[in-house]
Chains A and B, each alone.
Chain A
Amino acid sequence: MGGDFEANTPEWDWQRDESGASIEADLVDAARRNWARVLAYARRHQQDPARAADILEAVLLSLSRTRKTKGKLCRPIQNLDNHLYLAFVRRLNRQLAKEPHIESVGSLRDLDALSSIRTTPASRFIEDDLLIEELMGYMDERTRRMFSLRHMGYSWNETARILKNTANNAQVLFNQGVKKARRHVMKLKDKKNTSGKGGEADE
């Protein structure tokens, strides 16, 4: 992989993974289409384009490998662009969750100000937002769809009709999905907390 990450879509000059097997053209095309989107997401998290490209490459390889090994056993991907983007989001969040939180401050006064902000209740909401974003990344496809439908204003009855289920069952499934994603996020946070001062950035 190479090219000018800052401005343009990186030139993927490889079409084969480490084992020498070719990567499907549709995956490479989807990666090209979504490059600006994943780069914007990475930048929002103060990550440089090179790292974004590395993660996207890893996602591509992983997806390609999964498609080859599981083949027809797994369900076809309905929206490849979205799938790729969310896989990227999830992988980046996972890596970030494992890293120590580094904040640069200009002076000791800034540091004091930052500490005082942290004690305000508003910071809890910010923390919630960060958590929610991770949570959204870790939801399975069904839970994610329900979550999207719900915050797009669809009622549980409508959501259930889309899933060909009852409203009650849909709620139960959603709860289970959220719990599962929450457990996943919390596990990562626990790992991060117990591993002391951070650790390896990459997987």
Chain B
Amino acid sequence: MSDRALTKREEARLLNAGQRALLQGEFPNPERSGCPDKETLRAIAARKLSLEQVVEWVDHVGFCSPCYVEYDALRRQAVNRRWMQFGAIAAGIAIVVALGIWGWFGGWRQHPVGRGGEIARGEAGAYQTCRLDLRNRFVLRGGGEESPKPPSGPLELNRGRLDLTLDLPVGSREGQYEIQVLEQPGKPVASVRGTAKLEKDITVVRAQIDLRNISPGRYLLGIRRPELVWTYYPVLLK
């Protein structure tokens, strides 16, 4: 018999042997004399009783096989329930993190629901103001079937609902104008009409145009008075 302290393994063996003795009914109590009721045992097992309240029952439960068997089962249930709650919380956090990462890397914008959201936002939102100055632009006249070659850097337009204001080249007349965004001459993807007015010596035409459903890329902005020749400007839709 050594006087050394118990190692962790020895302590575990001792506790296991104690548990085994209790679970095997070494301390019977057929009439359940002095036993706590099931609710108290459940509260102890779920750690809902304070330590001070537990002390009252520890001496009994630790030496009463029926109580211990019941307690053991309730404790296992409580621990399992806690693990399940922990697992559910962990899974929830993992899902939120995964969605966050997915959204961060642009997955949301590619998702139909996400795009729908953007569309809905666009619909709900106001028109964006957009002003283009065509006065000093090199003009591609009367493209007809010829493919225009943009002589200078393209104009830029945002995809969305635009409140478009065009400063027309010097000498342009007031009146009705047709405005189109085209893939190529003869293939319009958006088309509107507007009325040009003279404002401070500049002929300005205003129109509202919806470019939300058009893919980004290079297009032509076409403008003409009705029945007259189209004038094209290269435009970059962003």
Q: Which residues of A contact B (CB under 8 A)?
A: 33-34, 36-37, 40-41, 44, 78-79, 81-82, 85-86, 89, 128-129, 131-133, 135-136, 141, 144-145, 147-153, 158, 161-162, 171-172, 174-175, 178-179, 182-183, 186
**Which of these, B21, B25, B60, B75, contacts A153 with CB under 8 Å?**
B75
**Which of these, A37, A40, A85, A178, contacts B6 with CB under 8 Å?**
A178
Q: Contacts A149-B54, A172-B5 given; 12 further ones with Cβ under 8 A?
A: A36-B33, A37-B28, A37-B30, A44-B28, A79-B59, A81-B34, A89-B63, A129-B24, A131-B17, A136-B18, A148-B63, A179-B3
Smallest CB separation, A172 vs chain B (Å): 7
**Which of these, B21, B30, B52, B61, contacts A133 with CB under 8 Å?**
B21
In the complex, the 3 A-B pairs of residues with the closest C-beta atoms, listed nearest first? A148-B62, A40-B28, A132-B17
Is B58 among interface residues, defined by CB-CB distance under 8 A? yes
Smallest CB separation, A113 vs chain B (Å): 22
Main secondary structure of the interface of A (DSSP, over half): helix
Please, which residues of chain A bring their CB within 8 A of the CB of B71? Answer: 152
CA distance A26 to B63 in the complex (A): 21
Contact (A78, B21) CB under 8 Å given A37-B29, A37-B30: no
Main secondary structure of the interface of B (DSSP, over half): helix
Please, which residues of chain A bring their CB within 8 A of the CB of B127? Answer: none
Is B15 among interface residues, defined by CB-CB distance under 8 A? yes
Instruction: Give the nearest-CB partner of A34 in chain B.
Output: B33
B26 and A152 contact, CB distance less than 8 A: no
Please, which residues of chain B bring their CB within 8 A of the CB of A78? Answer: 59
Q: Which residues of B contact A (CB under 8 A)?
A: 1, 3, 5-6, 11, 13-15, 17-22, 24-31, 33-34, 44, 51-52, 54-56, 58-64, 71, 75
**Which of these, A34, A132, A153, contacts B34 with CB under 8 Å?**
A34
**Which of these, B1, B33, B55, contacts A37 with CB under 8 Å?**
B33
B1 and A85 contact, CB distance less than 8 A: no
B29 and A175 contact, CB distance less than 8 A: no
Please, which residues of chain B bring their CB within 8 A of the CB of A136? Answer: 18, 21, 63
Contact (A145, B58) CB under 8 Å given A152-B71, A183-B1: yes
CA distance A81 to B34 in the complex (A): 7
**Which of these, B14, B30, B63, contacts A85 with CB under 8 Å?**
B63
A37 and B18 contact, CB distance less than 8 A: no
Contact (A132, B14) CB under 8 Å given A41-B27, A182-B1: yes
CA distance A151 to B15 in the complex (A): 6
B51 and A152 contact, CB distance less than 8 A: no
Instruction: Give the nearest-CB partner of B12 in chain A.
Output: A150
CA distance A183 to B24 in the complex (A): 25
In the complex, which of the residues B30, B34, B51 has the most CB atoms of chain A within 10 Å of its own CB atom?
Answer: B34
CA distance A36 to B29 in the complex (A): 7
A175 and B14 contact, CB distance less than 8 A: no
B58 and A81 contact, CB distance less than 8 A: no
A148 and B21 contact, CB distance less than 8 A: no
Please, which residues of chain A bring their CB within 8 A of the CB of B11? Answer: 150, 174
CA distance A153 to B59 in the complex (A): 14
In the complex, which of the residues B18, B28, B30, B62 has the most CB atoms of chain A within 10 Å of its own CB atom?
Answer: B62
A129 and B21 contact, CB distance less than 8 A: yes
CA distance A81 to B75 in the complex (A): 25
* 10 A-B contacts (beta carbon < 8 Å): A34-B34, A36-B30, A37-B29, A40-B29, A129-B21, A141-B59, A148-B63, A152-B44, A162-B51, A186-B1
Please, which residues of chain A bring their CB within 8 A of the CB of B61? Answer: 148, 152
CA distance A133 to B54 in the complex (A): 23
**Which of these, A44, A153, A175, contacts B5 with CB under 8 Å?**
A175
